[in-house]
Amino acid sequence: MLNVRFIVKMLGMMFILETIFMLIAAGVAFIYKDGDLTPLLQSSAIMLVTGIIFYLIGRRANEYGAGRREGMLTVTLTWLMFSLLGMLPFYLGGYIHNITDAFFETVSGFTTTGSTILTDVEALPHGILFWRSLTQWQGGIGMIVFTVALLPMIGGGGATQLFNAETPGITHDRFRPRVTQVAKRLSGVYIFFTLIIMGLLWAGPMSLFDAVNHALTCISTGGYSTKNASIAYWHSAYVEYVVTVFMFVGATNITLIYFFFNGNPKKLFKDEEMRWFFWFVIIATCVTIVWILFKGFAGDFEEAFRKAIFQVVTLISTTGYATADHIPWGPFFWMLALLLMFVCGCAGSTCGGLKMGRFVILSKNLFNEFKKQTHPNAIIPVRMNGHVISVNIVHRVLAFAFAYLALILVSCLTLTLDGLGFEEAVGASVSAISNIGPGLGSLGPTGSYAEVPVVSKWFLSFLMLVGRLEIFTVLTILLPGFWKQ
């Protein structure tokens, strides 16, 4: 039987913990006195009361009776309920006037997508801006991981199921015997980089408030900004290079970064997925440099290099910051951008998308099929980091890639049926499922999703949630077999 009490208890605990984050945003509102304190306090009270009620209902849950189904349901419902309750400050304060837009903005935050319906971000008060950025910071490492790290009382099999459902990569490099220890160390690395980015940006032309907000949305590869022009607002090469470096870091496997700082840097440099990711970025950057110099979109090599590497990293890391509108760069770069948006960063990072690890496995499996054409009896396994990848994992990767492409195609059909243009439909579909933010056409880096039809906004919200939890977690719940004993 489905352990409903466990699910309700976990939701209650996470709502109570989430209240703390919302109260921090209320503290920012109190400091700046912009008039947004009341909606944040009201939303905090609703979040807290909901959490207490849920916790009391499920307080006698047997956590050791929780399995994969409970983990998948808890994680999916957490992201859904966080988006419903997290939109309250926007809606109650009147900063977003309808539920559809408020929900879309909040889902985009928690899933670290970065798509926005706001046309004038700078009109928002400081507390609401901070809450908006904080949703992405939480979504980056995952509230489930924070909960497992900060609340050891979860313990047992329940914590493992939550952690596995929240971080469904190809493999988990478990460097500690207890999942709570893993979660604490990953959270520590995440917080450490957030503070580093904040300090570096504050040392530049940014104010403390802007530096904090961009630190939250940079390491999470979310992309929300406090300025309408995004990173381009500062016209600073220093800011662009700092942000580029840490978007790249955010797209790297956080477990390997932990090993790097824990006295074992070889694991980072010898990791095959990391090497593919590095060279993928280098090659795409070189191609972009040549293209924009040829087309005259940069005055000199340094400007071309800065624009190119920023655009490549912001797309492949699924961050979505903007320093330039790449839509005028033409269809060639649009196709390159779609490729970057399709593949994305490393497994174990805060990125969405296919992930470079799966791309490597798919590429190697394809090459092996070519070899088998001339040597049909040969047994040629797929290897990663010198180890043979089991056939089951290869099959799972193939299934994921098919589901990923199928969702994009179905999404394109759905969005065009609802009235979106072809460029917008393709860009929005890939952007939503890969949690990137900017799309193509009018939904590019300088555009917004404000004019997207209502049905499409709800559908894109669903896609963002599916992409954040790597497709199978959400879609499996929709199958009838999931609910059978």
- With respect to residue 379, please indicate whether it lies within any of the assigned structural domains: yes
Find, among 76, 171, 172, the residue nearest to 473 by Cα: 76
Find, among 385, 370, 112, the residue nearest to 270 by Cα: 385
What's the pLDDT score for residue 162? Answer: 53
Quote the tokens at residue 107. Answer: 């889902």
Quote the tokens at residue 375. Answer: 């040597």
Q: Cα–Cα distance between 14 and 435 in angstroms, integer? A: 23
**Residue 403 confidence class, pLDDT cut points 50, 70, 90:** very high
Q: Any idea which of 64-78, 320-334, 436-450 has the lowest mean pLDDT?
A: 64-78
- Host domain of residue 448: 356-483
Instruction: Give the 3-state secondary structure of residue 388.
Output: strand
Q: What whole-number percentage of the chain has pLDDT above 70?
A: 91
**Residue 349 confidence class, pLDDT cut points 50, 70, 90:** confident
Mean pLDDT of 414-432: 93
Q: Which residue has the higher pLDDT, 255 or 31?
A: 31
Domain count, the chain: 1
Q: Three-class SS string for 397-434?
A: HHHHHHHHHHHHHHHHHHHHHCCCCHHHHHHHHHHHHC
Quote the mean pLDDT of the chain: 88
Q: Is the pLDDT of residue 167 over 60?
A: no
Q: Which sign does the torsion angle of CA 355, 356, 359, 361 carry?
A: negative
Q: What whole-number percentage of the chain has pLDDT above 90?
A: 60
pLDDT in tens, 168-200: 444 445 555 466 677 778 888 889 999 999 999
Q: Cα–Cα distance between 303 and 321 in angstroms, integer? A: 17
**Residue 218 confidence class, pLDDT cut points 50, 70, 90:** very high
What's the pLDDT score for residue 168? Answer: 47
Find, among 46, 41, 73, the residue nearest to 58 by Cα: 73
Q: Any idea which of 12-21, 118-127, 139-148, 432-441 has the lowest mean pLDDT?
A: 139-148
Find, among 347, 425, 342, 429, the residue nearest to 384 by Cα: 347
Q: How many CA atoms lie within 13 A of 162 on its CB side?
A: 35
- With respect to residue 386, please indicate whether it lies within any of the assigned structural domains: yes
CB 160 within 8 A of CB 181: no
Q: Which residue has the higher pLDDT, 380 or 218?
A: 218
What's the pLDDT score for residue 66? Answer: 67
What's the pLDDT score for residue 311? Answer: 95
Q: Is the pLDDT of residue 451 over 50?
A: yes
CA–CA distance from 458 to each of 414, 429, 451 (Å)?
A: 12, 13, 13
What's the pLDDT score for residue 347? Answer: 84
- With respect to residue 4, please indicate whether it lies within any of the assigned structural domains: no
**Residue 413 confidence class, pLDDT cut points 50, 70, 90:** very high
Q: Cα–Cα distance between 464 and 411 in angstroms, integer? A: 12
- With respect to residue 44, please indicate whether it lies within any of the assigned structural domains: no
Q: Which residue has the higher pLDDT, 15 or 62?
A: 15
- With respect to residue 382, please indicate whether it lies within any of the assigned structural domains: yes
What's the pLDDT score for residue 258? Answer: 85
Q: Is the pLDDT of residue 392 over 60?
A: yes
Mean pLDDT of 403-414: 94
pLDDT in tens, 295-316: 999 889 999 999 999 999 999 9
What's the pLDDT score for residue 158? Answer: 52
CA–CA distance from 432 to each of 192, 239, 254, 344, 437 (Å)?
A: 28, 27, 23, 13, 7
- With respect to residue 439, please indicate whether it lies within any of the assigned structural domains: yes
Q: Cα–Cα distance between 114 and 133 in angstroms, integer? A: 10
Phi, psi angles (nearest 5°) of residue 387: -105, 145
pLDDT in tens, 33-85: 999 999 999 999 999 999 999 999 988 776 666 677 887 888 889 889 999 99
- With respect to residue 82, please indicate whether it lies within any of the assigned structural domains: no
Q: Which residues contact 32 (CB under 8 A, 6 or more apart)?
A: 125, 126, 127
- With respect to residue 445, please indicate whether it lies within any of the assigned structural domains: yes
Find, among 168, 116, 170, 117, the residue nearest to 142 by Cα: 168
